[in-house]
Amino acid sequence: MDSSPLNVGLVGYGLAGAVFHAPLISTTPGLRLAAVVTADPERRARAAADHPGAALLPDTDALWAAAPELGLDLVVVASPNRTHIPLATRAVEAGLPVVVDKPLAATAAEGERLAALARERGVLLSVFQNRRWDGDFRTVRQLVDSGRLGRVNRFESRFERWRPELSGAWRELGDPAEAGGLLYDLGAHLVDQALVLFGPAERVYAELDARRTGAATDDDSFVALTHADGTRSHLWMSATAGDLGPRFRVLGSRGAYVTHGLDGQEDALRRGGTPADPDWGVCAPEHRGSFRAGDAVEPVATLPGRYQDYYAGLARALRGDGPVPVEARDAVQALRVLEAAQRSSRTGTAVAL
């Protein structure tokens, strides 16, 4: 078996590329960050300092041209949402396996066409849903799968922040082609997690609001899912929450699991940490959640966060040794839910899927 590293070309060196993808790729055994594409001079300088062994390319045309020389085995699209489909399509047409940062597309139809093209060409296509490997979500999944909670009646999930002023970032632009707003940003994670836990949604109800002065996209939103198995998921995402609710509150027939605060891997990556660091992904004991049944309260240790498992799984899939860690069809299913949420908010009614 060929043990040489798989060469990865990374498109984009903003938050997604620099903070998430590049550190995870560069610390995953069997992967090598071979090239970074960015036209921004400051980002080029940062990429050169962070990854001196990677080729720095000004645009994707240069990447496609250099692909044979670089021996590219994978392209990662970590550029703004509006570019996901055209860039991923170009990679698939070139026969290059591709990872697309979430959301896969602005619409489910676009995502389905790309997924169909990848199947037709026999090219690996995956979507970066890193929060499947949050430590607190891994803990919820273990509790649900083990049956400790009994039958889950309601799954509450929040991703709330206090950011009362607009930042001017592209995610706040109102053009639907940008796929901006919190529904497509944080909601893409929350919906994916709910579908992973409880399967397909049959009905969607949503309230999508733009609260901040001058906001052109939703920044304070609620989505309710009724899953095919009868479980209800209630999902909140907000930039205007001066008081943060529990991250997870899972109510089952045998008890409940409650936890506060966000998984620490993103903050660690922002500080320059990587999965190679000691105690990576470990949750401090004071931040662990609890199992509750009436007055009885029992602390529950949080499983370690493991973002590195996404790219480790991808490396195995590329070598034919395992499944794709996140299938494109999962992302398309989640996009259908996001679109239904938009329709529900416009009409004030629940939408059947």
Q: How many Å apart are CA 74 and CA 80, to the nearest integer?
A: 19
> What mean pLDDT comes out for the span 304-318?
97
**Residue 157 confidence class, pLDDT cut points 50, 70, 90:** very high
Task: State whether 124 and 142 are in the same domain.
Answer: no
What is the structure's pLDDT at 96?
Answer: 97
Supply the CATH number for residue 167's domain: 3.30.360.10
Task: Give just the sign of the alpha carbon dihedral 137, 142, 145, 150.
Answer: negative
> What mean pLDDT comes out for the span 118-145?
98
pLDDT tens digits for 192-248? 999 999 999 999 999 999 999 998 898 999 999 999 999 999 999 999 999 999 999
Task: State whether 124 and 144 are in the same domain.
Answer: no
Task: State whether 215 and 341 are in the same domain.
Answer: yes
Residue 68 lies in a domain: yes
Task: State whether 148 and 241 are in the same domain.
Answer: yes
pTM, whole model, 2 decimals?
Answer: 0.95
Q: How many Å apart are CA 28 and CA 35, to the nearest integer?
A: 16
Residue type, 277: D
Task: State whether 302 and 161 are in the same domain.
Answer: yes
Worst-scoring range by mean pLDDT, 141-155, 161-175, 186-200? 161-175
pLDDT at 1 over 80: no
| Close Cβ partners of 155 (under 8 Å, ≥ 6 residues apart) | 194, 197, 198, 231, 232, 233, 234, 248, 250, 251
Supply the CATH number for residue 83's domain: 3.40.50.720
What is the structure's pLDDT at 3?
Answer: 73
Task: State whether 249 and 104 are in the same domain.
Answer: no
What is the structure's pLDDT at 2?
Answer: 62
Q: How many Å apart are CA 257 and CA 237, to the nearest integer?
A: 20
Identify the residue whose tokens are 């970074």: 36
Task: State whether 302 and 314 are in the same domain.
Answer: no
For residue 49, what are the domain limits?
6-130+310-326
Structural domains of the chain, count = 2
What is the structure's pLDDT at 265?
Answer: 96
Task: State whether 58 and 94 are in the same domain.
Answer: yes
What is the structure's pLDDT at 76?
Answer: 98
> Over the chain, what is the mean pLDDT?
95
Residue 1 lies in a domain: no
Residue 117 lies in a domain: yes
Let me know the angle formed at the C-alpha of 8 by 79 and 120, rounded to the nearest 5 degrees. 80
Identify the residue whose tokens are 């997870």: 248
Q: How many Å apart are CA 110 and CA 250, to the nearest integer?
A: 33
Strand partners, 237: 159, 221
> What mean pLDDT comes out for the span 89-112?
97
Task: State whether 210 and 62 are in the same domain.
Answer: no
Q: List strands edge to edge, sheet with 125-128.
A: 55-57, 31-37, 6-11, 72-77, 98-101, 125-128
| Close Cβ partners of 113 (under 8 Å, ≥ 6 residues apart) | none
Strand partners, 157: 235, 248
Task: State whether 171 and 290 are in the same domain.
Answer: yes
What is the structure's pLDDT at 43?
Answer: 96
